[in-house]
Chain A
Amino acid sequence: MKELKVSAINKGTVIDHIPSGKGLKVLEILNLPKDSTILVAINVKSRKLGKKDIIKVEGKILSEDEVNKIALIAPTATVNIIDKWEVVDKKKVEVPDEIVGIIKCANPNCITNYEEVKPKFKVISKKPLKLKCHYCERTMEEGMVVKNLL
């Protein structure tokens, strides 16, 4: 089977190498505008991963924050920025050292769940993922992180 060509949109973002089965979750957390043109491919054959999911978003360049969000649930993903049918920038997602405003703290008694403040976490381990809340100092592991994405 021929591999899908990732640049087959005019302008926008292609998120490639999403672990198979995580594509819809990535789409959900990106929370894109309802009228966006989005192509989702699931269980596509991949040399690197065996199977992978791909998302193509027409007309939208993902911001740094959005890329970071992807890193939390799909660490193998690559983000391709497309302009005039060509890949103009390619970045590998990486879990940053600090995560601000994209996950809420799982501790129900953390002050960030009561005040107008962006939750902030220090990444204490990238693999397996482990975060520490800057405010309440509680740690969160991968399962909790996914559940608490904003």
Chain B
Amino acid sequence: MKFQDVISINDFGKEEIEYVLKTAERLENELNEQKILQYAKGKVLATLFFEPSTRTRLSFESAMHRLGGSVIGFAEASSTSVKKGESLMDTIRTVEKYADVIVIRHPREGAARLAAEVAEVPVINAGDGANQHPTQTLLDLYTIKKEFGRINGLKIALLGDLKYGRTVHSLAKALSYYNVKLYFIAPQGLEMPRHIIEEISDKVEITETSDLESVIPEVDVLYATRIQKERFPDPAEYNKIKGSYRIDLKILNGAKETLKIMHPLPRVDEISYEVDKTPYSAYFQQVWSGVPVRMALLSIVLGVVE
């Protein structure tokens, strides 16, 4: 299987997802045997980050280095010709002369799709405004699969701001390809949008609730996300909500022993630091998953793996 670009999780069927996860697993195993692979030797990745990011950019760069390739790019638009008024299309047409693959993060929705249409080299979307961040979804799935050896049969809760969080929207859609039970836990006003529920409700069983505590004993995966203060007109309301969605040792009292807690990070105070050292914590494992998954995606679009 080969695909040219990675723009939206909506372009992925289950077969493509499984292919990425399998390739990531294979590369991770090879990486465990030797620190640097040679699949991308002589290839150059350009990382164009028009918006700052820590994890996504560094893990793409780490992935390319571990594939034996090299990396050029910028981490913010202010040091580039964009500041002089250069269009995105011209930036892409320029950069593709220097690189074999482009990874782009851009504040405007649709920027990655446009870049992919302009560029002759493959383009990977590392986040386009509030729209898509497909590599995050793939690494989330990979983490679940690594932790449990499977995705099918699991009970998975998505917690926090489910209305505005693009991560949870894409993840919910991707999980609907599997035989899972989903729990959407959100404060009033930040529930999962209807259109997403309608799209997936005939494929998976969904429970919606605002009560975290009652769901904790049931689930295998608790995927927490940040609730942003600015979503609440009343700061008092925010403080109330924040407290009831905080994951600490007390609330985890009734949890299954095998529960795994995930978070796309950065966290603010959704997960207490005391949870980090427990076997529940999978969020730093999730950070590592970004490397093999992005290695897989880079290798696939470059056409250097079978």
Contact = CB atoms under 8 A, between A and B. Distances in A.
A111 interface: yes
A137 B132 contact: yes
A148 B131 CA distance: 21
A136 to B, nearest CB: 4
A115 interface: yes
| Chain B, interface SS category | mixed
Interface stretch (B105-113, B137-145, B155-163): B105-113
A136 B88 contact: no
Nearest to B8: A137
B132 A117 contact: no
A129 interface: no
B10 A137 contact: yes
A117 B88 CA distance: 11
Contacts of B195: 139
A114 B113 CA distance: 14
A135 B114 contact: yes
Interface residues of A, number: 17
B87 A111 contact: no
Contacts of A114: 88, 108
Contacts of B107: 109
B88 A111 contact: yes
B110 A110 contact: yes
A67 to B, nearest CB: 26
Contacts of A110: 108-110
Given A109-B129, A109-B130, A133 B110 contact: yes
Given A135-B113, A136-B129, A136-B131, A116 B87 contact: yes
A117 B89 CA distance: 9
A134 interface: yes
State the majority secondary structure of interface residues on A. loop
A90 interface: no
A132 B111 CA distance: 16
Contacts of B113: 111, 134-135
Contact of A115 (B10, B87, B109, B131): B87
**5 smallest A-B Cβ distances: which pairs?**
A135-B110, A136-B109, A136-B110, A111-B110, A111-B108
7 contacts: A112-B110, A115-B87, A115-B89, A134-B113, A135-B114, A136-B131, A137-B10
Interface of B: 8, 10, 87-89, 106-111, 113-114, 128-132, 195
Given A111-B128, A135-B109, A137-B110, 14 more contacts: A107-B109, A109-B130, A110-B110, A111-B109, A111-B113, A114-B88, A116-B89, A135-B110, A135-B114, A136-B109, A137-B109, A137-B131, A137-B132, A139-B195
